[in-house]
Structure 1
Amino acid sequence: MSVAIDRRLEAARAVVEDASRLALAMRPPSGGPSGSQKSAQDWLTEADGAVEAFVARRMQELFPEDGFQGEEGGSVRQGSLRWVIDPIDGTSNFARGRNRWCVSLGLLDGDRPVAGVINAPALGEIYTARLGGGAFMNGKPIHASPVTDTRSAMIEMGWSNRVPKPVFMEKIGAILDLGAMPRSGGSGALALADVACGRLDGYIEIVINLWDVAAALIILEEAGARVSPFLREGGLTGGATILAAAPGVAEALSQATGIPLA
């Protein structure tokens, strides 16, 4: 199986690089948002559909036996190995011509993340990992932050219109009470990648979908981060809560926010 996963990861990285170039070419100019709104602050652009269709077609040609699930198209193929794509994660940034967005493609073996690629072309960063093989950014090993004091920690929290304002404010308050510095960057996949490489010490989102985290889950695991049981808590079939954190602050962050760790 490891040989099969290696072959798929190598192919996925090449396909995602091509898809990222397509997305970069379609990125709107800087300014007010381009595209349509699905709901408050939830944007859809022409590039979302084009990138997903491109990757779906290429992966079917390469691995016709594999399943495939996309944010825009839903579950379009079944298979014991399943690719899950977010064609543009950080669409609100992308729609304004900003740089913080990515193409994210993860591979699951049943309910087990086994490989992932996150490509942020405007930032020049590619994150990859496979089960048991380590995590990398641009080919160099990455590891979660060594921070152990929450008063030195930088924590990002994602926002969703599906979360009541009091719940969001409660979690933000818990972060502030720890003495940590809150952040919000508009891309869940890249925030999780930042936890994996130590740029952030934690990331929380109360409701997030599988396509946002499918690639990041294995990257986090291989980088030594602690993560809540997202898939076991409903993440395979719907929105669920995620907490990812550096080992030295994970327990404190979990206790403060009430989000259990795996």
Structure 2
Amino acid sequence: MYFVNYLNRNKTDPYYPAFEIIYGVELTFIVASFIAGIVLICLTYRTTKLHRLIRLRLISGLINDLVFIVSRLLVMHHEYFGPTEYVETAPLIFGSIMKQIFLGYMTSLYESGANSTLLFFLLQEALLFCIPAALGYMLVHEYITSMHIIYCFAVIVLIGAPLLAFVYRMNVRVTRELKRGAVIHRYSIRRTYQIKENLWMLTAFKRIARPLVIVCIPPFIFSPIYQRVPPGIGYDGLRFFAVSMYDLWLSANIPETGDTYFAMLSNDLMKGPPI
């Protein structure tokens, strides 16, 4: 089994109370995030300012975050109060898989439309959940390694970024054609509004791309330190601190804590598409 409980009391007690402080800060974020997540789900469900599918996308992400919070609590309990020897427990297996699902799920985009697009949304959500769930299961049961998952996400990014640019340019080109004037048997008010809404959403995502990259830099620093620095050469404290800060970053940057991604995206969504 490949578990995400990188730490235990045998490793952290020599550095008392450093890791207790880190656990305390992370627990504060977790409790605040759980309360905020429930409130945001209720507010998002009741709001009339957002498109139905936008509400569903936000609620889906928030529910996934709440499940991750519960799984992280299980792992933290095992790290601090659990046995120091190697064991395989159901809560630890669940927490390890859910962490990988959470990391893989947060790589999605939004598609707007009417009832026919609602079916696409459901299929997309199912796909977004099944892929990281399968990767998480295979990682925990050691069918693949963490590097395989990194390669998989890298391929998704390499494919997704050009597709995003392609879709954006296609919508811009269609908009330019529409500005030339209505063409008999081809002009559609619904299609025109759909194109404007597509551009509005894609522009919102483009606007937050740079801050989102900056926010996502820390895990790509902390994780390699833990994985690449060999144990037992005098830098174990640095390795344990890096992996603790990685978990703290995850707890502090889920959407309901108001991170850069969620805050900026929400502001853009509230403005509504141009009519």
Tell me the TM-score normalized by structure 1: 0.27
Tell me the TM-score normalized by structure 2: 0.26
Structure with a larger share of its residues in helix = 2
Structure with a larger share of its residues in strand = 1
Greater relative contact order structure (CA < 8 Å, 6+ sep): 2
